[in-house]
């Protein structure tokens, strides 16, 4: 088996469009997503891997063998530090200068809810955390891994707002571009040949809490993107020395791809394994959007909400769920027969699932760090549903 870390350096703002119609008589504005979908990265890399070898093409069984390559990511990185999307269990009360972590709270006598599964508990603040109502502020979009590990392992459910320092990053800038086709004879724009695109600037991300009047070098952090590739097909041995320019996303925007064989960016922090060793309450946070057959509910859970994540023998019981509303994913298939892919529902990145330990040792879940928890094998290969683990 070959496993390597890829470093992606963007030359242009990347276009990652949503599924709304775009084209002649369908709308002239291409609307972009806040981040790249895992399947976009996986598809682009698999294409690049074939183009990087002089003796490979897309004939025979090569397309099927490419589909079996596991591609995970992408995430931003500053130097060797990985960044992960903000978890949904974070509520920031800026007025009280406090950051709260929500968790399941058992119903009191006479209380109840209309949850889809009866045993589930509401995920909420405890009364002692916030005796008064407040409107939560949006937390930083990207968290450095060392801070994320603290969030996953610290038993404290409230902390000072100063914990959000300038090492946290905000969401990427979106750059809009207007495109026009000129008539060679008149030099004027052709009728109905005007459209707009929106791209993500991913050479740098704005630092959280930094004054906008500061120079750009202090306001923004220079970032690269990082992905992880796993394969066991000797046909693609050139992965270890893989390096090339290749488009990623829409409009063929260029990215430099490079293998980093000794990078430790994706490793599970030691503190997580130590904390999980004696844990009885386990938290699963989605680092990329997940696709489950039953919508919000992982298919590896049975009717009693018990089960083991893919690749693990640890048995868990679901207690509570904290997720945003579903997002759509579709696309266009270039494989035969070509055509539009069906629309599917995703659980957005940052979703939190709360479990109690039924059987096994929770520290065994460190082997599932940033591994996929999706039901379908191809979704796991495409990088959907990467999860990190902690306690609550």
Question: What does the pLDDT look like over 19-55, one tens digit per residue?
Answer: 666 666 666 677 789 999 999 999 999 999 999 999 9
186-227: per-residue pLDDT in tens? 888 887 778 888 899 999 999 999 998 899 989 999 999 999
At 178, the pLDDT band (50, 70, 90 cuts) reads: confident
* Of 88, 121, 56, nearest in space to 322 by CA: 88
Name the pLDDT band for 335 (thresholds 50, 70, 90).
confident
Integer angstrom CA distances of residue 117 from 88, 276, 354, 374 = 20, 27, 14, 20
Is the confidence at residue 323, as pLDDT, over 70?
yes
- Residue 241 has phi, psi (to 5 degrees) of -115, 20
Range of weakest confidence among 87-91, 177-181, 292-296: 177-181
Per-residue pLDDT of 53-112, as tens digits, reads 999 999 999 999 999 999 999 999 999 999 999 999 999 999 999 999 999 999 988 888
Q: How far apart are CA 77 and CA 319, in angstroms?
A: 33
| The pLDDT of residue 170 is above 90 | yes
Q: What is the DSSP letter of 87?
A: P
Q: What per-residue confidence (pLDDT) applies to 193?
A: 79
Mean model confidence pLDDT for the chain: 93
Q: Coil, strand, or helix at residue 142?
A: strand
Whether the pLDDT of residue 290 is over 90: the answer is yes
Spell out the domains of the chain, with CATH numbers in brackets.
2-84+170-260 (3.30.70), 270-391 (2.60.40.4350)
Residue 73: burial class (beta carbons within 10 Å; 0-12, 13-18, 19+) = buried
Q: Give yes or no for a contact between 230 and 1, defined as CB atoms under 8 angstroms apart.
A: yes
What is the per-residue pLDDT for 251?
A: 86
pLDDT given at position 27? 63
Predicted pLDDT of residue 38 = 97
Give 176's pLDDT tier (boundaries 50, 70, 90). confident
Model confidence, pTM: 0.94
pLDDT band at residue 332 using 50, 70 and 90 as cut-offs: confident
pLDDT of residue 187: 84
Q: In terms of Cα–Cα distance, which of 379, 84, 82, 37 is closest to 260?
A: 82
**Cβ atoms 344, 289 nearer than 8 A:** no
Q: Is the pLDDT of residue 275 over 80?
A: yes
Stretch 283-292: mean pLDDT? 99
Question: How would you classify the pairing of strands 386-391 and 371-372?
Answer: antiparallel
Please name the helix (run of DSSP H) or strand (run of DSSP E) that holds residue 199, with its range, or none.
Answer: strand 189-201
Residues 354, 101: contact at Cβ < 8 Å?
no
List, in order, residues 6 or more apart from 369 with CB less than 8 Å away: 266, 267, 268, 272, 388, 389
- Per-residue model confidence (pLDDT) at position 23: 63
């Amino acid at each position: 088996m070959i496993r390597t870390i890829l470093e992606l350096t963007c030359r242009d703002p990347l276009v990652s469009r949503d599924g709304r119609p775009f084209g002649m008589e369908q709308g002239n504005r291409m609307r972009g997503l806040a981040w790249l979908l895992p399947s976009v990265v996986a598809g682009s890399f698999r294409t690049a891997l074939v183009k990087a070898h002089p003796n490979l093409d897309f004939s025979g069984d090569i397309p099927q063998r490419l589909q079996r390559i596991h591609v995970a990511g992408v995430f931003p990185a500053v130097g060797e530090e990985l960044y992960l999307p903000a978890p949904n269990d974070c509520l920031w009360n800026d007025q009280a200068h406090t950051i709260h972590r929500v968790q399941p709270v058992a119903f009191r006598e006479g209380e109840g809810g209309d949850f889809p599964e009866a045993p589930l508990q509401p995920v909420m603040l405890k009364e002692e955390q916030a005796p008064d109502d407040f409107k939560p502020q949006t937390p930083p979009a990207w968290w450095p891994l060392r801070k994320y590990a603290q969030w996953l392992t610290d038993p404290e459910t409230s902390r000072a707002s100063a914990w959000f320092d300038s090492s946290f990053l905000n969401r990427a800038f979106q750059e809009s571009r207007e495109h026009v086709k000129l008539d060679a004879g008149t030099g004027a724009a052709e009728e109905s040949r005007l459209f707009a695109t929106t791209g993500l600037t991913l050479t740098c991300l704005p630092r959280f809490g930094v004054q906008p009047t500061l120079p750009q070098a202090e306001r923004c952090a220079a970032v690269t993107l990082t992905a992880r590739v796993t394969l066991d097909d000797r046909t693609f041995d050139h992965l270890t020395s893989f390096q090339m320019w290749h488009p990623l996303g829409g409009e063929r925007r260029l990215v430099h791809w490079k293998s980093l064989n000794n990078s430790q960016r994706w490793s599970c922090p030691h503190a997580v394994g130590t904390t999980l060793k004696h844990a009885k309450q386990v938290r699963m946070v989605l680092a990329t959007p997940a696709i489950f057959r039953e919508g919000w509910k992982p298919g590896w859970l049975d009717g009693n909400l018990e089960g083991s994540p893919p690749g693990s023998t640890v048995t868990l019981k679901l207690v509570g769920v904290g997720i945003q509303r579903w997002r759509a994913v579709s696309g266009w298939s270039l494989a035969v027969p070509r055509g539009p892919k069906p629309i599917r529902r995703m659980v957005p990145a940052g979703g939190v699932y709360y479990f109690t330990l039924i059987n096994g040792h929770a520290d065994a879940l460190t082997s599932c760090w940033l591994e996929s928890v999706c039901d379908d094998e191809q979704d796991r290969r495409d990088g959907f549903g990467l999860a990190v683990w902690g306690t609550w």
